[in-house]
């Protein structure tokens, strides 16, 4: 995560934030589930880091505004074209040159803490958060309403990912399911880490705009 953040964010701080998620994962891990502890813990460690960074609110307002602008443009074009818009179509819609659009993606990638993990969480009545990993069958927790809600969320996210352009879909798979770093994904695909960062940012913004559109309130 440090590789995608500004230089002034100390790695030691990220480790400290991540330990909060690790401790939570240790306390909540169910040995009866047929998943590795590592698989269960990684999203919680990422989530704890994201929550702490968000509370510091260090992302410039201009960057947040540009990310929302790109999300809205993507949603508008997808509705109009019935497919994922190209970079050229996005830059035209935003009134930018192609270079300006690519630079905006890099700026958002280097300044934002948006991650796909955020799309996988819903709050329950206790104030806790549950990820898709928590939707695995658990005979000791037969809450039908919660199971239905989590299943619907999982289906929505899966459908949204399936509609991504192939290269963005591959980046999402390698980053979130194979746990490769952006640099490692770049080596696999034969492109620069910067290009992978752009693809990851575009994919997350597309998914956020789609799910926000489905929610109808513009917020996730």
- Please report the pLDDT score of residue 107 as a whole number: 74
pLDDT bucket at 130, cuts 50 / 70 / 90: very low
The rounded distance, in Å, linking the Cα atoms of 70 and 74 is 6
**CA of 53: how far to CAs of 61, 71, 114, 141, in Å?**
15, 21, 10, 32
pLDDT bucket at 142, cuts 50 / 70 / 90: very low
Let me know if 105 is exposed, middle or buried by CB neighbors in 10 A (0-12, 13-18, 19+).
Answer: buried
3-state secondary structure of 209: helix
Higher pLDDT, 170 or 46: 170
Q: 61-215 has which fold? A: Arc Repressor Mutant, subunit A (1.10.10)
How close are the terminal C-alpha atoms of the chain, in Å?
21
- Please report the pLDDT score of residue 89 as a whole number: 92
Domain boundaries, the chain: 1-58, 61-215
Tell me the mean pLDDT in the region 166-171: 90
The rounded distance, in Å, linking the Cα atoms of 114 and 197 is 12
pLDDT bucket at 92, cuts 50 / 70 / 90: very high
Q: What is the dihedral of CA 177, 46, 201, 3, to 10 degrees?
A: -100
- Please report the pLDDT score of residue 137 as a whole number: 45
Higher pLDDT, 130 or 218: 130
DSSP string, 3-72: GGS-TTS-HHHHHHHHHHHHHHHHHH--TTSSS-HHHHHHHHHHHHHHHHHHHHT-S-HHHHHHHHHHHH
The rounded distance, in Å, linking the Cα atoms of 160 and 72 is 16
Tell me the mean pLDDT in the region 170-183: 84
The rounded distance, in Å, linking the Cα atoms of 10 and 165 is 34
pLDDT bucket at 106, cuts 50 / 70 / 90: confident
- Please report the pLDDT score of residue 157 as a whole number: 79
pLDDT tops 80 at residue 33: no
Q: Which of 53-62, 126-135, 208-217 has the lowest mean pLDDT?
A: 126-135
Give the right CATH number for 1-58 from 3.40.30.10, 3.70.10.10, 1.10.1740.10, 1.20.1250.20: 1.10.1740.10
**CA of 180: how far to CAs of 104, 171, 200, in Å?**
24, 9, 12
DSSP string, 106-156: HHHHHH----HHHHT-EE-TTS-EE-GGGGS--TT---HHHHHHHHHHHHH
- Please report the pLDDT score of residue 214 as a whole number: 58
Tell me, yes or no, if the pTM score tops 0.75: no
The rounded distance, in Å, linking the Cα atoms of 167 and 164 is 8
3-state secondary structure of 95: coil
């Amino acid at each position: 995560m440090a590789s995608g953040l500004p230089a002034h964010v100390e790695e030691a701080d990220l480790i400290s934030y991540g330990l909060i998620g690790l401790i939570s994962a240790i306390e909540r891990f169910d040995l009866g589930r047929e998943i590795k502890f590592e698989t269960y813990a990684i999203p919680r460690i990422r989530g704890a880091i994201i929550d702490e960074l968000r509370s510091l609110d260090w992302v410039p307002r201009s960057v947040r505004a540009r990310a929302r602008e790109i999300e809205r443009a993507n949603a508008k074009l997808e509705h109009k074209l019935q497919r994922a818009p190209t970079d050229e179509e996005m830059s035209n819609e935003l009134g930018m040159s192609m270079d300006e659009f690519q630079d905006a993606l890099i700026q958002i990638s280097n300044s934002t803490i948006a991650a796909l993990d955020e799309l996988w969480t819903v709050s329950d009545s206790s104030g806790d958060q549950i990820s898709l990993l928590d939707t695995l069958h658990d005979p000791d927790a037969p809450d039908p309403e919660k199971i239905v809600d989590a299943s619907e969320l999982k289906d929505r996210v899966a459908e949204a990912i399936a509609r991504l352009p192939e290269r963005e879909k591959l980046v999402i798979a390698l980053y979130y399911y194979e746990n490769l770093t952006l640099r490692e994904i770049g080596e696999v695909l034969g492109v620069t880490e910067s290009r992978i960062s752009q693809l990851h940012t575009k994919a997350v913004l597309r998914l956020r705009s789609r799910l926000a559109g489905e929610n109808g309130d513009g917020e996730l």
